[in-house]
Chain A
Amino acid sequence: MALNGMEIYKMLPKKNCKECGFPTCLAFAMKLAQGGTQAEKCPYMSDEAKDKLAEATAPPMKTVTFGIGDRAYSLGGENVLFRHEKTFVNKPRFAVMFDDGENADDVAKKINHINAVNYTRISEEMYVEIAAFRCSSQDKQKFISLIKKVTSDCKKVVPMIISEDPDIASAAAEEFAALGPIIYGANEKNCEAMAGIASKHKLLLGVKAEDQAKLYDTVQKIQSMGFRELLLDGGGRSLKTAFDDAVNIRRTALLSKDRTFGYPTVAFVCDMTRDKMMEVAMAALFIEKYASIIVLSDMDYSMALPLFSLRQNIYTDPQRPMRIEQGIYRIGQADEKSPLLVTVDFALTYFIVSGEVERAKVPSWILIPDAGGYSVLTAWASGKLNAKSIAKAIKDFEVEGKLKTRELIIPGKVAVLKSDIEDELPGWKVIVGTREAAALPAFLKEYRQEKAS
């Protein structure tokens, strides 16, 4: 439980020695309570008091990690219940469930899907981060050989080993320790053994219970063993109970400031429905509220396109709008004579403009200069979108070498830039385009016709 300044003050030596950098012990205590300094700064505090304070002033939700090297991921560490209050920090990761009882064709199909879904959207790589493995055969060798097959066929996934049998969990953990797997399956009965395995290999441990109250007790038990790298599962396997778990575990950490539940959670969507489209609906809910690992039965493009996009949106820092990489983008089968448009690097603007150009079915090029990540008018008003930044993009991206056209279509809202750009770019003609993206299809069709005649 978090302590207030006065409670912390009582634990201090009250010498007012100033060695911590604060004028008095009280001032130090107040700052500590707000998280503005660390307990270690006080040289005279007892170790016991320091531990207690470090615990009390730590963030409400722990950041835990799994995986290894460039496939190491952080979960949790969230400070707010709504992104507008500050920002969400660690995006949820997607897992695909495998079972050692399922047939080889299904396994092969999922492996193909996992390897196929691998693309970049607004500078973010989209792929399945985790393969979850359930041991329903209770056969150690069978289980391990399935994990071996999938992790060698899908190079990017980190395994999540699911077993409540410490013997099986330990064998699999031993085998795949180098991949930094998640061990899932600690419960009230086996938690001592499971925590031992996780702690031996320094792995993230998934804890499961029948309901939130039992989970709470089990987590306390594990914490008392000194192990704190946890992932929680309140046991709900209907949408309603699983949503209750996700919301209330998060609220216990952030609203009640109770760190027993200050860990990320996992949602087993694959167990809540047999319908792929229902999985999409449920996963959308858990991306917004508040799962950190979402386990699906599969991940093909129809599931990936909406879910990865939604995750990208929700986990964008509200203070830093999404930016598209600068460059020259080809829309359709554009050739060196196709129309060239310029707009800004604010991702939303780019998507709307490129969508309308696609809708027009007029193959074109879109040039994206450095416009500070703002919308057209804001970028212009703040001096980020001007003749110089546009001319620089024409040069940087070697547009004159790539294209034969010497006409540049600019957004109608910045028509005033026309003569400035023409001054900066000798030999170019600036065409003032539409004020709204929605009018682009008509504009481009007309423009193409004029060119042809």
Chain B
Amino acid sequence: MAYKKPSQKFSGKIREVTVGSGLKLGGESVLPFYKFDGDTGAKPAVGMEIWDVFPESWPQSLKDIFGEYADDPVKWAKFCMEKYNPDFICIRFEGANPEGEDRSPEECARTAERLAGEVPVPLMIAGCDSDEKNAKIFVKIAEALPDKNYVFLSAVEANYKEVGAACGMAYGNIVSAESSVDLNLAKQLNILITQLGVKPEKMVMNPGCAAVGYGFEYVITTMDRIKLAALDQNDATLQMPIVSPVSFETWKVKESAASEEDMPEWGSQEERGIAMEIATAAGVLAAGSNAVILRHPKSVEIIRNFIDELL
């Protein structure tokens, strides 16, 4: 008997969403990187994370790279563009945190506007720890940057109405629906946001992210189930591309944050941080992430090559 190569054909397809003016996410009709089965859609995008304030809490190795530019997000973003050429920039408004600098929505909007004027790639706009504050800053930023197709990370159960209405409808940007590692929660939030009137092509989702070792099995299983529901059962409420903010999770865990003095046997802290970021990114990409957000330039280089080699 001769070998017959198996293949899985699906009736469903991940929706293709355009971020900014030309960055396409999604569009695949096969499981992640299953080129041998059919159309893998747009190449997963790789973005870099910057902050609106100096990233005091980042490990020294990252501050050595970005510190010189990190006092100004525009300088920082331009440095990333010139040196590492990411597909998008994710600006995180940590300075808006009410427990920290508590910057006003107007101030955040001015920063976003300056960035939009100077950065040639699309932006993803992320907030701080407060859902309530995020709703306020997202509304102002979306208003200042209408019809840009920028992604707002994220609308959660507590603020999806404000975020959805402003970013997704009134000002023509893209809403990322964030839930925590549960297919049903992801589906419910997607439905609620579309019921507001946000068009599915103006949506992406983050069904939860974690660093490897920290409940990562829930992340992978939720994503596996979402992709199978989207492709195999043609469930339109789960066909949004997935954006995974990998760096938000991996740099705070012990493996990345512990100093060499504290853990001498673990060796280079910088290498640990990079390896945790890379393993997590490769892990979510293998489960169907359509875009990953990273911090370290080495991670950006490796993950981009990883994607290129698979497609």
Contacts and interface: CB of A to CB of B under 8 A. Distances in A.
A127 interface: no
Contacts of B298: 277
Contacts, number: 164
Given A275-B302, A282-B306, A247 B252 contact: no
Contact of B129 (A220, A277, A305, A438): A438
B228 A310 contact: no
Contacts of A275: 302
Interface residues of A, number: 58
A248 B212 contact: no
A358 interface: yes
B286 interface: yes
Given A239-B310, A318-B217, A348-B214, A282 B265 contact: no
Contact residue range for chain B?
Answer: 35 or more
A281 B280 contact: no
B275 A220 contact: no
B275 A310 contact: no
A305 B275 contact: yes
A251 B7 CA distance: 8
B254 interface: yes
A357 B35 CA distance: 45
A301 B267 contact: yes
Nearest to B298: A277
B238 interface: no
User: Chain A contact residues: over half helix, strand or loop, or mixed?
Assistant: helix
A313 interface: yes
A318 B216 CA distance: 12
A247 B34 contact: yes
B1 interface: yes
A136 interface: no
Interface of B: 1-6, 8, 33-36, 99, 129, 212-217, 220-221, 224-225, 228, 252-255, 257, 265-268, 271-272, 274-276, 278-283, 286-287, 298-299, 302-303, 305-306, 309-311
Given A243-B33, A244-B36, A302-B268, 7 more contacts: A217-B3, A239-B306, A244-B35, A255-B6, A258-B4, A306-B278, A313-B220
Interface of A: 82-84, 116, 121, 212-213, 215-217, 220, 238-240, 243-244, 247-248, 251-252, 255-256, 258, 260, 275, 277-278, 280-285, 287-289, 300-303, 305-307, 309-310, 312-314, 316, 318, 348, 351-352, 355, 358-359, 438, 442
10 contacts: A82-B228, A121-B213, A240-B35, A248-B36, A285-B306, A288-B220, A306-B213, A314-B216, A355-B252, A355-B254
